[in-house]
Structure 1
Amino acid sequence: MTNLLLEEWTGPSGTPDFTAIRADQFLPAIDAGIALSRAEIAAITDNPAEPDFDNTVAALERSGAALARVRRIFWMLASAEADAGIHAIEAEVSARLTAWGTEVSQNERLFDRIAAVWKARDSLSPEQARLVDNSYKGFVSGGAALDADAKRRLGEISKRLSELGVTFGQNVLNATNATELVLSGTEAAGIPEDVRALAAGAAHARGLDGQLLFVVDRGTYERLLTYADDRSVRERVWRAFTGRCQSGSFDNNPVIAEIVALRDEKARLLGYSSYAAFAIEDAMAKTPAAAAGLMDRVWRPGLVQAEREAAALQAMVERDGGGFTLAAWDWRYFADRVRRERFSFDGAAIRSHLSLGKVRGAAFAAAERLYGLVFTRRPDVSVYHPDVIAWSVDKADGTPVGMILTDYLARPQKHGGAWMGSLRVQEKLDAPVRPIVYTVANFTRAELEEDALLSLDEARTLFHEFGHALHALLSDVTYPSLAGTAVARDFVEFPSKLMEHWVASPEALRDLGVPADLADAVARADTFGQGFATIEFLASAILDLKLHQTQPPPTDIAAFERDSLAALGTPDAIGMRHRLAVFTHVFDGGYASAYYSYLWAEVLDADVFEAFTATGNLFDAELADRLRREVLAQGDARDPMESFVAFRGREPDEAALLRARSLA
Structure 2
Amino acid sequence: MTEQSDPLLQPWPGPLGAPPFARIGDDQFLRAVTTSIAWHKAELDAICEQVAPATFENTIAALERSGEPLARVRRLFWALSSAKGTLAIREAEAEISARLSAHAVAISHNAQLAARVFAVHASRHESGLTPEQVRLVEDSHASFLRGGAALTRAGKYRFAAIEARLSALAVQFGQNVLAATNAWVLDLEQNELEGLPSAICEAAAARATAKGLQDRYHITLDRTDLEAFLTFSKRRDLREALWRAFTARCDGDQHDNWPIIAEMLALRRERAVLLGYADHAHYALADSMAHDPAAASALMRQLWAPGKRRATQEAAELQALIDAEGGDFRLAPWDWRFYAEQVRRTRYALDTAAAAEHLRLDAVRQAAFDTAGRLYGLSFYRRADIEGYHPDVWAWEVKESNGSTVGLLFTDYLARPEKHGGAWMGSLRVQEAMDGDVRPIVYLVANFAAAPPPDRGATRLSIDEARTLFHEFGHALHGLLSRVTYPSQSGTAVARDFVEFPSKFMENWIVSPQVLADLGMPEDLISAIREAEAYGQGFATVELIGCALVDLAIHQNPDAQIDPRAFVEAQLDALAMPRAVGLRHRFPYFTHIFDGGYSAAYYSYAWSEALDADAFEAFVATGDIFDPGLASRFREEILAAGNSRDPMASFQAFLGRAPDGTALMRARHLLDA
Which TM-score applies when normalising by structure 2?
Answer: 0.98
Separation in structure 2 between the aligned mates of residue 466 and residue 208 of structure 1, nearest angstrom: 36
- Equivalent residue letter for 1:107: N
Cα displacement (A) at 1:241: 0.6
Contact 1:178 1:215 in 2 (8 A): no
Separation in structure 1 between the aligned mates of residue 52 and residue 208 of structure 2, nearest angstrom: 69
What are the equivalent positions in structure 2 for 1:10-159 lying under 5 Å apart? 10-122=13-125, 123=127, 124-159=129-164
* Correspondence for 1:581: 588
Greater displacement, 123-132 / 435-444: 123-132
- Equivalent residue letter for 1:32: T
Separation in structure 2 between the aligned mates of residue 229 and residue 177 of structure 1, nearest angstrom: 25
Cα displacement (A) at 1:427: 0.3
* Correspondence for 1:393: 398
- Equivalent residue letter for 2:177: V
* Correspondence for 1:350: 355
Cα displacement (A) at 1:207: 5.2
Contact 1:554 1:560 in 2 (8 A): no
Contact 1:172 1:244 in 2 (8 A): yes
Is residue 414 of structure 1 aligned with residue 419 of structure 2?
yes
Cα displacement (A) at 1:555: 3.4
Contact 1:506 1:522 in 2 (8 A): no
Separation in structure 2 between the aligned mates of residue 205 and residue 651 of structure 1, nearest angstrom: 54
Change (3 A) 1:83 1:400: same
Separation in structure 2 between the aligned mates of residue 78 and residue 107 of structure 1, nearest angstrom: 30
What are the equivalent positions in structure 2 for 1:274-285 lying under 5 Å apart? 274-285=279-290
* Correspondence for 1:641: 648
What SS does structure 1 have at the residue aligned with 2:28? helix
* Correspondence for 2:635: 628
- 1:464 aligns with one of 467, 471, 494: 471
Greater displacement, 340-349 / 130-139: 340-349
* Correspondence for 1:505: 512
* Correspondence for 1:429: 434
Separation in structure 2 between the aligned mates of residue 199 and residue 34 of structure 1, nearest angstrom: 44
Cα displacement (A) at 1:58: 0.1
Greater displacement, 538-547 / 179-188: 179-188
- Equivalent residue letter for 1:256: I
Separation in structure 2 between the aligned mates of residue 187 and residue 496 of structure 1, nearest angstrom: 38
- 2:579 aligns with one of 572, 578, 583: 572
Separation in structure 1 between the aligned mates of residue 197 and residue 164 of structure 2, nearest angstrom: 46
* Correspondence for 1:318: 323
* Correspondence for 2:175: 170
- 1:179 aligns with one of 170, 176, 184: 184
* Correspondence for 1:292: 297
Contact 2:379 2:398 in 1 (8 A): yes
* Correspondence for 2:487: 480
Separation in structure 1 between the aligned mates of residue 625 and residue 561 of structure 2, nearest angstrom: 47
Deviations along 1:181-202, one digit per CA (max 9) or x if unpaired, are 1122222100111211222233
Extract unaligned runs of 5+ from structure 1.
none
* Correspondence for 2:239: 234
- Equivalent residue letter for 1:45: C
Separation in structure 1 between the aligned mates of residue 207 and residue 593 of structure 2, nearest angstrom: 32
- Equivalent residue letter for 1:154: F
Separation in structure 2 between the aligned mates of residue 240 and residue 490 of structure 1, nearest angstrom: 32
Separation in structure 2 between the aligned mates of residue 289 and residue 449 of structure 1, nearest angstrom: 47
Cα displacement (A) at 1:208: 4.3
- Equivalent residue letter for 1:589: G
Is residue 519 of structure 1 aligned with residue 526 of structure 2?
yes
Contact 2:543 2:583 in 1 (8 A): yes
What SS does structure 2 have at the residue aligned with 1:478? coil
- Equivalent residue letter for 2:543: E
Separation in structure 1 between the aligned mates of residue 22 and residue 116 of structure 2, nearest angstrom: 42
Identity within the alignment, %: 55
* Correspondence for 2:502: 495
Separation in structure 2 between the aligned mates of residue 243 and residue 269 of structure 1, nearest angstrom: 35
Deviations along 1:85-128, one digit per CA (max 9) or x if unpaired, are 00011000000000100100111110100001001111311000
Cα displacement (A) at 1:226: 0.1
- Equivalent residue letter for 2:96: V
Cα displacement (A) at 1:507: 2.2
Cα displacement (A) at 1:600: 0.3
Deviations along 1:565-621, one digit per CA (max 9) or x if unpaired, are 111111110000000000001000000000000000011000000000001111000
Separation in structure 2 between the aligned mates of residue 208 and residue 436 of structure 1, nearest angstrom: 40
Change (3 A) 1:588 1:503: same
Contact 2:233 2:239 in 1 (8 A): yes
Separation in structure 1 between the aligned mates of residue 404 and residue 285 of structure 2, nearest angstrom: 39
What SS does structure 2 have at the residue aligned with 1:577? coil
What are the equivalent positions in structure 2 for 1:432-447 lying under 5 Å apart? 432-446=437-451, 447=453
Separation in structure 2 between the aligned mates of residue 553 and residue 453 of structure 1, nearest angstrom: 47
Contact 2:444 2:476 in 1 (8 A): yes
Cα displacement (A) at 1:206: 4.1
Deviations along 1:444-503, one digit per CA (max 9) or x if unpaired, are 011222110000000000000000000011100000000000000000000000000110
Contact 2:467 2:510 in 1 (8 A): yes
What SS does structure 2 have at the residue aligned with 1:543? helix
Contact 2:220 2:226 in 1 (8 A): no
* Correspondence for 2:225: 220
Deviations along 1:177-231, one digit per CA (max 9) or x if unpaired, are 1121112222210011121122223334445433322222101100000000011
Is residue 369 of structure 1 aligned with residue 370 of structure 2?
no
What SS does structure 2 have at the residue aligned with 1:406? strand
Cα displacement (A) at 1:344: 1.0
Cα displacement (A) at 1:24: 2.1
Extract unaligned runs of 5+ from structure 2.
none
Greater displacement, 220-229 / 516-525: 516-525
Greater displacement, 211-220 / 433-442: 211-220
Greater displacement, 198-207 / 502-511: 198-207
- Equivalent residue letter for 1:509: L
Root-mean-square deviation over aligned CA pairs: 0.9
Change (3 A) 1:71 1:267: same
Change (3 A) 1:209 1:9: closer
* Correspondence for 1:8: 11
Contact 1:377 1:391 in 2 (8 A): yes
Separation in structure 2 between the aligned mates of residue 207 and residue 20 of structure 1, nearest angstrom: 31
Separation in structure 1 between the aligned mates of residue 362 and residue 254 of structure 2, nearest angstrom: 39
What SS does structure 1 have at the residue aligned with 2:384? coil
- Equivalent residue letter for 2:29: F
* Correspondence for 1:250: 255
Is residue 210 of structure 1 aligned with residue 240 of structure 2?
no
Change (3 A) 1:629 1:160: same
What SS does structure 1 have at the residue aligned with 2:218? strand
What SS does structure 2 have at the residue aligned with 1:404? strand
Separation in structure 2 between the aligned mates of residue 374 and residue 503 of structure 1, nearest angstrom: 18
Separation in structure 2 between the aligned mates of residue 179 and residue 599 of structure 1, nearest angstrom: 32
What SS does structure 1 have at the residue aligned with 2:445? strand
Contact 1:547 1:553 in 2 (8 A): no
Cα displacement (A) at 1:554: 5.2
- Equivalent residue letter for 2:20: D
Deviations along 1:126-185, one digit per CA (max 9) or x if unpaired, are 000000000000000000000000000000000000000000000001111112111222
Which TM-score applies when normalising by structure 1?
Answer: 0.99
Separation in structure 1 between the aligned mates of residue 654 and residue 54 of structure 2, nearest angstrom: 36
Separation in structure 2 between the aligned mates of residue 6 and residue 396 of structure 1, nearest angstrom: 34
* Correspondence for 2:458: 451
Contact 1:225 1:330 in 2 (8 A): yes
Contact 2:300 2:545 in 1 (8 A): yes
Contact 2:387 2:394 in 1 (8 A): no
